[in-house]
Amino acid sequence: MKTRQLTELAQQLRVDSVRAADAAGSGHPTSSMSAADLMAVLLAHHLRYDFERPAHPANDRFILSKGHASPLLYAAYKAAGAINETELLTYRKLGSRLEGHPTPRRLPWVETATGSLGQGLPVGVGVALAGQRLDRTGYRVWVLCGDSELAEGSVWEAAEHAGYEHLDNLIAIVDVNRLGQRGPTRHGHDLDAYARRFRAFDWHTVEVDGHDVEAVDRACAEAESTTGAPTVILARTLKGKGVRAVQDHEGLHGKPLPDPAEAIAELGGVRDLRVEVQPPPAARTLHPVHSGHLELPRYEVGDEVPTRDAYGQALAALGSARGDIVALDGEVGDSTRAEYFGKEHPDRYFQCYIAEQLMVAAAVGMATRGWVPYASTFAAFLTRAHDFVRMASISGSGINLVGSHAGCAIGQDGPSQMGLEDLAMLRAVHGSTVLYPCDANQTAKLVAAMADQDGIRYLRTTRGKTPVVYGPTEEFPVGGSKVLRASFEDRLTIVAAGVTVHEALAAADALAEEGLRVRVIDLYSVKPVDRATLREAAARTGALLTVEDHHEEGGLGDAVLDAFLDGRPVPRLARLAVRTMPGSATPAEQLHAAGIDAGSVMAAARLLVEHAVLV
């Protein structure tokens, strides 16, 4: 396109952004207008993309990190012929694919859900890593960022990693319109402030007038020809560019234009230009995934094995059987045992250092390209990436998260290292699967099973050794449970998972010696829960006692409730959980102090059964 045409295209994108927001009665047209020239140049001259084949292995990827500028994205889709005028004007309406912030659940051309700022670049790093080390079809990853979001630390985790990994297939374009939501950004139009920061993280930088389409075009070309480093194009722009009533004005973030008709006239009226987006080069299919026989590790019943060891060994085995498995580490692979995978499959092992947000975002990015990522760190430190997990669920992303060092059972290291909130966090994620195995064979089976679940899957592992209670041929369906002790005389059911299964078993056996028979359920699938088994146990035994190495809110005890929400009578319930703030102590002392060891289970069981009331 000639300069004049590019400018016209940009004006069309502005006009269509104004129209979409006007039709919706909400949205962010001014944030779209600042980036319209950037988008026009990218779409017309640089992006290589087949809108009819969004999964094309050589398609460039485009991520709108400033997701609130969705009118601009949808206007671009219209210009590219992917959506029509009628659909554009459904923006933000019930049932429309064109949500307030773009999501891949609805639109096939969206790589990842955005709208929580500072996530597009880290996810882009994941896609670019996949491009550089796995797919190798030559695609580029373009990420359009806002300037406000550069305040997010996750952006600098991403910048650090992209520079370190020499991701020259990654190009960030920053729409420096100097205005955030409530006022000016820290650095306003000081492009050099941003350039110094990116350069310090080993990026190539280009500063440009973001409304000069020729200059933007040259900047994109320079980025494309830069090797050995990612490029950031810092574009000086004006929010609301092109309409005097709003241009560069504060206080107009996230508002439709006051007089859309006048604005459209000022922008030169409605156009219907169509862009022929450059197609990607021919390329082989997504990636060759070899598939072989899965030979999971097998453990002897009675042996003592940490479930984290089983995770590492099973993941390594899964990686041998399936070529689409990748693993990401947050610089604790020796603790989580992810390094077992790294040693066997170094080409599919990604060291993310101590940057949990980047680690999860990179997993999301790799999943967009069809890879099946396992990202692991201490369960406690997954809280660092909570917002990324939340957004991944909005994307419908299929990622596996594994948190080690669950609960107070870790012992001496103290509360900062204990995962005591992770079950609550992961259960509350829409569509998640939450698994918590108690022994090594169960862990191995669940590591393999989780790969094929939908949505976010979480596995919680234990630091210390636990006895192997299941044989290597036992199966553990997601959504199931195991009844480990049962008799016709059971007067109570103890529901446990992970480390507390062993406490519950010890308690049940000791109580049996006393003449009190109790049922024990291993609820390894915390979400979804095995409603039928819980219901039946409750009906037969009259009461349930849950015991968990987690804070009392949102964990196993709350999960059990899910089986009793159908309006039918509920059994008597009691819960043992970590109610105090632990300090340092041995694992056994911790379980005792928290009141979740076998002795505490026995005491609670006796009260529940013998007095029928706990307090």
Instruction: Quote the least distance from Cβ 175 to a second copy, whole Å.
Output: 14
Helix (H) / strand (E) containing 403:
strand 400-404
Residues 49, 276: Cα–Cα separation, whole Å: 10
| Interface with a second copy (CB under 8 A), residue from 59, 311, 527, 601 | 527
Catalytic residue, chosen from 99, 207, 266, 356, is: 356
Report the 10 Å Cβ neighbour count for 308. 27
355 contributes a contact to a second copy by CB under 8 A: yes
Q: Are strands 433-435 and 482-485 parallel, antiparallel or unpaired?
A: unpaired
Q: Are strands 433-435 and 400-404 parallel, antiparallel or unpaired?
A: unpaired
Touching a second copy, residues 335-354 (CB under 8 A)? 335, 339, 353-354
Angle (CA) 139-142-148 rounded to 5° is 160
555 contributes a contact to a second copy by CB under 8 A: yes
530 contributes a contact to a second copy by CB under 8 A: no
391 contributes a contact to a second copy by CB under 8 A: yes
Touching a second copy, residues 572-601 (CB under 8 A)? 572-575, 580-581, 583-586, 589, 593
| Interface with a second copy (CB under 8 A), residue from 245, 294, 603, 612 | 612
User: How many residues interact with a second copy (rule CB under 8 A)?
Assistant: 124
DSSP state of 322: B
Helix (H) / strand (E) containing 304:
strand 304-306
Instruction: Answer whether 48's CB lies under 8 Å from 35's CB.
Output: no
Residue type, 557: G
291 contributes a contact to a second copy by CB under 8 A: no
Q: Indicate the residue among 183 and 269 with the shorter CB distance to a second copy.
A: 183
The most distant pair of C-alpha atoms in the chain lies apart, rounded to whole Å, by: 90
Instruction: Quote the least distance from Cβ 485 to a second copy, whole Å.
Output: 20
Helix (H) / strand (E) containing 62:
strand 61-64
608 contributes a contact to a second copy by CB under 8 A: yes
Site string for a second copy, 194-223 (x = CB under 8 A): --xx-xxx----------------------
8 as an active site residue: the answer is: no
Q: Indicate the residue among 102 and 280 with the shorter CB distance to a second copy.
A: 102
104 contributes a contact to a second copy by CB under 8 A: no
Touching a second copy, residues 401-420 (CB under 8 A)? 411-417, 420
Helix (H) / strand (E) containing 458:
strand 457-460
Site string for a second copy, 44-73 (x = CB under 8 A): -----------------------x------
Site string for a second copy, 463-502 (x = CB under 8 A): ----------------------------------------
Identify any residues that bridge with 64 across adjacent strands, giving them in sequence order. 144
Site string for a second copy, 415-454 (x = CB under 8 A): xxx--xx--xx-xxxxx-----------------------
DSSP string for residues in 124-182: HHHHHHIIIIII-S---EEEEEESGGGGSHHHHHHHHHHHHTT-TTEEEEEEE-SB-SS
Q: Which residues are tagged catalytic? A: 356
